Amino acid sequence: MTTLIDGKALAKKIKEELRQEVDTLKEKGINPKLAVILVGDDPASQVYVRNKSKACEMVGVEFDEFLFPSSITQEELLGTIKKLNEDDSVNGILLQSPIPDHLDIREAFETIDPRKDVDGFNAINVGKLSIGDDCFIACTPYGIVKMFEEYNIELEGKRAVIIGRSNIVGKPMLQCMLKKNATVTVCHSKTKNIEDIIKEADIVICAMGKAKFVKDYMVKDGAVVIDVGMNRDENGKLCGDVDFENVSKKASFITPVPGGVGPMTIAMLMNNVVKATKMQNNM
């Protein structure tokens, strides 16, 4: 019997709990605030920012948006980040990616104050995650960890395969799984015999951006399958990196697309904003 991991319901539960924390903070005169920087007019990015704004409204976090044309210079972008770093009313800073090619996103992430880096992309937070220190964890991997905890999915000693090695999902996910004592293999575009590796996995986490790549014959019976993908199939329908219809017949747990990992990413962003607020107020 396959269990569907309901990310939408879990995200709602987490945001309701965060709302209570925010209400308590506000009673003490502390108002959590997230500043989001959006460069250019990428339609997907605009949707993501709108969703973050709605989540802030639900949780009670103030939301400040900084919109810039694609022609912005690196100096102007960094100048905005530095001003937000110095603004004590701002607790979290998020630079929505992607940004135009002429801008250096790595430098921009490094400019964000690590104490306000609620996306977990600053090298200081990345380094702290790798050595097991308390830090801001990238929101998608953090959301997946929370799913495992909510559904009592045991990770210790399990063989986990992560497909994709991005700085946003794959690499921080590796560190999160190691911290939970899983044995982890990371696969990518240069991996040989990838299907054979996937077949050995107790847990499969796919974040490669290729529609329905993971087929049922690649997954062993009873595996836990986490689909981070967000694609369109041949009919233009939203789908993940996993052939959900067929793989769901073999998996013990599986996330749907949509309604799985996506809502959890935003919930954990809210979590990080509240955490940043409390840290900055020595709480």
The catalytic site residues sit at 52, 96, 119
Phi–psi pair at 131, nearest 5 degrees: -105, 5
**What are 36's two structure tokens?**
């989001």
CA distances from 123 to 110, 129, 172 (A): 7, 10, 12
Q: Rounded to whole angstroms, how far apart are CA atoms 236 and 233?
A: 5
Query: DSSP letters of 130-182?
Result: HHT-S-PPPHHHHHHHHHHHHTT---TT-EEEEE---TTTHHHHHHHHHHTT-
Q: Rounded to whole angstroms, how far apart are CA atoms 113 and 93?
A: 8
Residue whose C-alpha is closest to residue 21's, from 61, 66, 77, 50 = 61
Cis peptide before 98 (omega within 30 of 0): yes
Residue whose C-alpha is closest to residue 162's, from 149, 154, 145, 96 = 145
Q: Rounded to whole angstroms, how far apart are CA atoms 121 and 137?
A: 8
In the numeric block, the tokens 């929370």 are attached to: 146
